[in-house]
Amino acid sequence: MEQWGFYFDQSRCLGCKACMLACKNWNELRRGDKDTNRLNIENYTVAEGANENAAAYIDPATGTNNYAEFRKFYMKENWRRVSTHDRGGVVLGTGNTFKTTFDRRYLSVSCNHCSEPACRDACPVGAIFKEETIGAVIVNSSMCISCGKCREACPWNAPQYYDDNFARYNPDDPARPRMTKCTLCFDRVREGRKPTCVAACWNRALDAGPLEELKTKYSGIAGGWQNPDEIEEFANSAVPELGIPSTGPNIIFTRKGRWIRR
Amino acid sequence: MKSVFPISRRDLLKSAGAIVASAAVAGCGSNDSEDTFVSPMDGLVFDRELKTCFSSGPYNCGARCMHKIHYKNNRLVHLTSAGDIERDSSRSSDESPGEIGLPIQRRACVRGYSYLQRLYQPDRLKYPLIQTGNKGDISTFKRVSWEVAIEKAADALHAAIQRKATLGYSPIMCKWAGSTIDTFNSFVNHPDVAPIITHLGNESYGAVDAAKFDMVGVDSFTNNVTDRYNSQFIITWALDPSRTSYHIEQAHWFNTCAKEWGIPIVVITPNHSDTAAMLSTGVPEFTYTAGSTKTVDIPAWIPIRPATDGALAAAMAYVIYKNSLHNTTFLTSSCFGFFKDQQTTSTSARVIFPNFPPKNYNVPNDFSDDASMPATFTKGSLYAGAVFKVPAGESFEEYLISLENDWGGAVGNTAGGTTAAVGDPTYNQVLEYAAALTGVPSDTIEALAFKYARPGPGLTAGPAFMDVGGGPQRAWNGVEWVQMMIALCAMTGNTNRSGGGAGFSMGSCTDYPAAFAPVAPSASMLNNIETVNAISVPMGEWSHLALTGKDYRSRDRFIADVKICTGGTPLKDPTTGFVVGVIPKTPLDLTGRPDPLVEVDVWFINNYNGVTTLENINKTIAAVKSVKTVICCDQTMTPTAAYSDIIFPVTSHYESEGVAISYPGTTAMFKMDAPLDKMYDAKSDNSIRNLILSSLMTRYGYNFDPDTDFYSDLPKEYSGMVAQGTYEALKGPGSFYTALVDPSATAKTYEEFCRDGVIDYPIPKGKAVVGFQHFNPLGDLQNTTGRINFWQPLWGKIRPKTTRSSGPDYWGRTHDGFRNPTAKYQPNIEGYEKFFDNGPTPGPNFGNPLKGSFTGFYSKLSGRYYKLLYITNKARHRAHTVFDNVAVIKDQNVQCVFLNPADAAERGINDGDMVYVYNDRGCTYIPAKVTHYIAPGVISVEHGAWYRPHPTETVKVWIDTARNADGIWNPSTVYINGEPDFREFRVPIDVGGAENVLTLNVGGTEQYVGQAISAQGGPCEVSRTKPE
């Protein structure tokens, strides 16, 4: 096996979320509720009354756009997540002027396809495994019992459900959310393509490939890349509430730090 | 490794087909219980049945990107973008930002990816609808056949045209009537129909067009995008290229590379934009000497108060001037109006406006009423040879010195014509005043000015690039801000320098026309808009027209302008395309007409969400109610569609072929394929208009077949021919490109273009194209003098020399002035100055942010003090209002009000609380985002969220209207200074987060200025409790 991983350049990330959208777009047919919430658009039939029903547009209780209805038809799971991390502030100083120490950083993370995945070890039914060719961590959703233990175990929030109330569903309910997660775009990678988030990254902050290859590729940039071991501290500083077990995340990254000419 | 189902890659590859088959069996035949074994890898097989083609985004975000469409069985399955290429080929063909001269990948943003969801939205309009109840009530729309809907629309237009016999015009209003290149354009310009009413202007960059008009000429271009790499310092002013990059795809990526190559960048915005977050560096420990030697850290993000950007620019210009950092040679030879008493002989090849002036720039033709206009002027002749002289007191130099009195309080030694020395109290107080007004500390202002004028090592002169956005020009005083940007660039000689720039980045035709063959500066938008023959009103003021009979021009002025606008049709030089004369016709004379002067019976809307896009939504809705018939063509149930009487559903761009080009300035063009057959019972907008017109013609005894006599819905294969024709006409390379960049450049064949999905003409850093050298060389600008006008003769000579007053009343009801002929800072109509010493009786330091005490903005209408200023910056996931209904991106960018923790604490607001954001014009109810992302005293509600009224909750608002709430003309209206007095109404609270319930729809008393949007820097409040 040649272990693959991600590279993330925080000094380039604009927080635009194109990676998230590209992921949802490519994996639309892999979302957990695709069978329960599907538009009947195969032949574009125009059902009588479809356009006269005000509730199709507007939530009658609040008057807002009926987003609850609209969002049934896209992937809710965030296989890739972009978070915002602020430090410092801007205050009114002397002379009616602004004084600022504000700094913002973004963090784009999907699944780090760990060498020792905590999710795998936590799963009571053995639905999660490491795939053999590129080391992607894959879930067999059909086995999932929606217990949420994988989600609790993962420091990165990689295991996803389309509904956060997944535990409340009846086990026999066909709509019961089962865990889904990033596959490292296994289908695409096998075809010689980049994961869709990497292909989409608007500001070229993401990469993926064999981890050793990535380390070589990014060894020359100013500041260099950080070891996977350091991502615990990296993430800790960005997301303080996360506890970090030693899972061997397969990611290297460049921090946003002092501005350095490359 | 612990794997539960170890399946080898070899097995998978060997039997991919078999696994797909077994998955199908497992999925279909069983009860699908959790015991059923489904291989987890089944879903991870690349679907080889998918076909791939190209597309782009037809909605106008200002740029374009490449989409790769993966489809099957007449359905879109995936959408990827330009970065979706073989991994192995990434290194050679990926991510060259221009320095090495390769094309860059034009990758999609979230808006691009959301097209897939938008296509299949539940709120897509699928068949024609008519309103059977009250406007705005979605529950009372009823489906009708195409025949019935077309007939109703034609009936409404016919009834309106019948009224022309008595009114002299057809009371039909539509937008962009002059640039609609189809039969509808012929219709609205037909002698039996014209004139109609058109609401002109531009929501995106209207003030840039207005500002450039006589300062540098509308037909002017600035440096190409890769030239920023030749810069030594970049100021990104009010621009967030990760949200909006006009004419320039991937500007954020170019800026990223600039940063990584060591070019320092600072960002000036009221909110910490994504650009500020990632692409700015600041200038640490910048040392310079102004009186004494100082060391200042110029921050990466310079927060500024909304609509005071012009004041910061004025202060920077003051510092540059007082410290003699300005480029005297350039200002003397290439500019006019900077120096006192400066005189110049025009070298402009532009024709003096003939009797028929351009409609969008409604310039009266009575030049001769001003003695200072050269007597030799003949309408229709050239400006060249005319001598212009700056009147006393109106040069830019004198304006800067006047700041010592106006801002500096003349505490130094300015009396008697001498001016303050650098570092003396007057000089310092000018900067302190600007600091108190803008929020930017005085040492930052001074250092920034030095760094901009002396960016090189050891404070040497060098190129600095002002990368300007569009936020501050979407304000009442936006024109003046754009002019101050142009002025700063000219003062430092950056205008025509590689690595510099001219101070604007958008506008009619502004960036760069090098790539594509037929695009040259002479083919200007200006000439296109001159072809309108209509009663034209500023777009944001159309509601005032509907409610009062005219816009904010005075009655006399309005009548006079209508005469000009309807007094002829333009005569164009067939070679140059310029308007050189006029074919006179009898003008429409409204003199002596009773109110309302002008009525609107029909509003025809084509793919335009005017109700949400334009300012002052509650007033707009009152206006819509007064219009007899609103006809709307759109794809989704926008708020504008909801307030329409007849709705026509429009097809998507996946159903016919085409090419996409963002603007003439871009260097790339994209192929748009047609992967889908026709969806729903929809038609193309062209087809809809033709069907309506055919029906209308039957009333005049003509029988047309819309499918054969007009350009109607084309079969796919014909749309392919049209796409090819468009490509062949535009493909380039333009003569500029072969002359300046690559003499051996050739265009791709159409087949190659279809294969690649894109044609791109990259410009490497070393061959940067400088607009003011190559396209619009100084001395030959398309304005009055041919030079950069710090003092603009056109505005100085044809209008009374009054300053645009911001007026003492709630809306500055005395705003009776006209454009400033001199570039200068103009306080905003409801600007921050009015937050000081305000009240029922304003205090002695009213309007002075340095000396006055902060009271907030006092409204006589409501008796409220508003202590916050709003901005309405662009959202990352919308192009104006488009895409707001697409939940997949909306959920990632929740509409909210951003406010600073200090302001939140003062109001007892916690992060996530639902709050009312309100002023005298309206109220929106949205979540609060408490964050240091935004400066204290400023709130942001991002532009473009759809207005949606709450079913029951209402608030008080005040509207100046001569109609009742139901749209009926109210003969007992009280008028003040010719305008209806404000009256109190109750309107629903907006729950959609539409920022335009807050904004002001006053462009000015002059149509020319009013073509822009007035959406920034007004007063408001935020509260957890409902306002009363």
How does DSSP assign B206-273, residue by residue?
Answer: HHHHHHHHHHT-SS-----GGGGGG-S-EEEES--TTT--TT-TTHHHHHHHHHHTT--EEEE-SB--
Residue A244, pLDDT > 60, answer no
pLDDT in tens, B937-959: 999 999 999 999 999 999 999 99
User: Which among A57, A62, A194 has CB closest to B138?
Assistant: A57
Closest CA to A191 of B248, B485, B617, B46: B46
pLDDT tier at A210 (50, 70, 90 boundaries)?
very high
CB pair distance less than 8 Å for B439 and A97: yes
Give B408 or B531, the one with higher predicted confidence.
Answer: B408
Distance set, CA A144 to CA A139, B454, B868 (Å): 8, 65, 51
Distance CA B810, CA B712 (A): 50
Residue B859, pLDDT > 90, answer yes
pLDDT in tens, B45-63: 889 999 999 999 888 777 8
Closest CA to A206 of A174, A176, A184, A236: A184
Among 3.30.565.10, 3.30.390.10, 3.40.190.10, 3.40.228.10, name the CATH number for the domain at B206-348+383-514+773-798. 3.40.228.10
**What SS3 state is found at B158?**
helix
CB pair distance less than 8 Å for B77 and A28: yes
Domain total of chain A: 1
SS (H, E, C) B921-975: CEEEEEEEEECCCECCCEEEECECCCCCEEEEEEEEEEEECCECCCCCECCCCCE
User: Which among B2, B4, B436 has CB closest to A127?
Assistant: B4
Q: A54 lies in a domain?
A: no
B46 touches A at CB < 8 Å: yes
Query: Which part of chain B is CATH 3.40.228.10?
Result: 206-348+383-514+773-798
Which residue in B has a C-alpha nearest to residue A68's C-alpha?
B887
User: Which among B45, B435, B890 has CB closest to A95?
Assistant: B435
Q: Are A139 and A180 in contact (CB under 8 A)?
A: yes
User: What ipTM was reported for this prediction?
Assistant: 0.92
Residue A129, pLDDT > 90, answer yes
Give CA torsion, residues B543, B546, B548, B551, to 10 deg. Answer: 60
Buried b (16+ CB within 10 A) or exposed e, A210-248: bbeebbebbeeeeeebbebeebbebbeebbeeeeeeebe
Sequence length of chain B is 1028
List CB contacts of B150: < 8 A, sequence separation 6 or more. B691, B692, B695
Among 3.40.30.10, 3.40.50.10170, 2.40.40.20, 3.40.50.620, name the CATH number for the domain at B859-1023. 2.40.40.20
| Helix B206-215, helix B478-491: angle, nearest 10 | 50
Q: A42 lies in a domain?
A: no
What CATH number is given to the structural domain containing A12? 3.30.70.20
Q: How many CA atoms lie within 13 A of B817 on its CB side?
A: 16
Query: Which part of chain B is CATH 2.40.40.20?
Result: 859-1023
Least confident of B197-201, B295-299, B742-746: B197-201
CB pair distance less than 8 Å for B950 and A199: no
Q: Are B259 and B390 in contact (CB under 8 A)?
A: no
How far is B139 from chain A, CA to nearest CA, in Å? 5
How far is B124 from chain A, CA to nearest CA, in Å? 8
Widest CA span in chain A: 66
Q: Are B488 and B452 in contact (CB under 8 A)?
A: yes
Interface subset of B 225-244, CB within 8 angstroms of A: 242
At B71, which helix (H) or strand (E)?
strand B67-72
> Which chain A residues have a beta carbon less than 8 Å from that of B37?
142
B114 touches A at CB < 8 Å: yes
**What are the DSSP calls for B889-921, one per residue?**
HHTTS---EEE-HHHHHHTT--TT-EEEEEETT
**What SS3 state is found at B347?**
coil
The residue written with tokens 């305008």 in the block is B979
> Which chain A residues have a beta carbon less than 8 Å from that of B8?
132-133
pLDDT tier at B920 (50, 70, 90 boundaries)?
very high
Interface test with B, best of A14, A72, A221, A260 (most B CBs within 10 A): A14
Distance CA B287, CA B653 (A): 55
pLDDT in tens, B561-580: 788 778 766 666 666 555 55
List CB contacts of B146: < 8 A, sequence separation 6 or more. B128, B681, B683, B691
pLDDT tier at B183 (50, 70, 90 boundaries)?
low
Average pLDDT over residues B536-546: 89
Determine the Cα angle at B120 with ends B114 and B125, to 5°: 115
pLDDT tier at A180 (50, 70, 90 boundaries)?
very high
> Which chain A residues have a beta carbon less than 8 Å from that of B79?
25
B1 touches A at CB < 8 Å: yes
pLDDT of residue B753: 96
Distance CA A152, CA A161 (A): 12
Closest CA to B360 of B612, B607, B194, B564: B564
Fold of B129-194+524-663+668-718: Rossmann fold (3.40.50)
Distance CA B248, CA B319 (A): 32
SS (H, E, C) B632-657: EEECECCHHHHCCCEEEEECCCCCCC
> Which chain B residues have a beta carbon less than 8 Å from that of A127?
4
Tokens of B990: 């907006």
Residue B435, pLDDT > 80, answer yes
B949 touches A at CB < 8 Å: yes
Q: A40 lies in a domain?
A: no
At B503, which helix (H) or strand (E)?
none
pLDDT in tens, B754-807: 999 999 888 888 888 888 988 788 888 878 899 999 998 877 765 544 444 444
Residue B89, pLDDT > 60, answer yes
pLDDT in tens, A1-23: 899 999 998 889 999 999 999 99
Residue B862, pLDDT > 80, answer yes
| Helix B309-322, helix B425-438: angle, nearest 10 | 160
Q: Which amino acid is located at A129 in the chain?
A: F
**What SS3 state is found at B606?**
strand
> Which chain A residues have a beta carbon less than 8 Å from that of B3?
129-132
How far is A34 from chain B, CA to nearest CA, in Å? 13
Distance CA A70, CA A74 (A): 8
How far is B874 from chain A, CA to nearest CA, in Å? 13
The distance of Cα A84 from the centroid of its chain, to the nearest Å, equals 13
Q: Are B980 and B595 in contact (CB under 8 A)?
A: no
End-to-end CA distance of chain B, in Å? 67
Residue B817, pLDDT > 50, answer no
Scanning A94-242, the segments in alpha helix (DSSP H) are 118-122, 149-153, 186-190, 196-200, 211-217, 231-238
Sequence length of chain A is 262
Residue A175, pLDDT > 60, answer yes
How far is B816 from chain A, CA to nearest CA, in Å? 31
> Which chain A residues have a beta carbon less than 8 Å from that of B111?
none
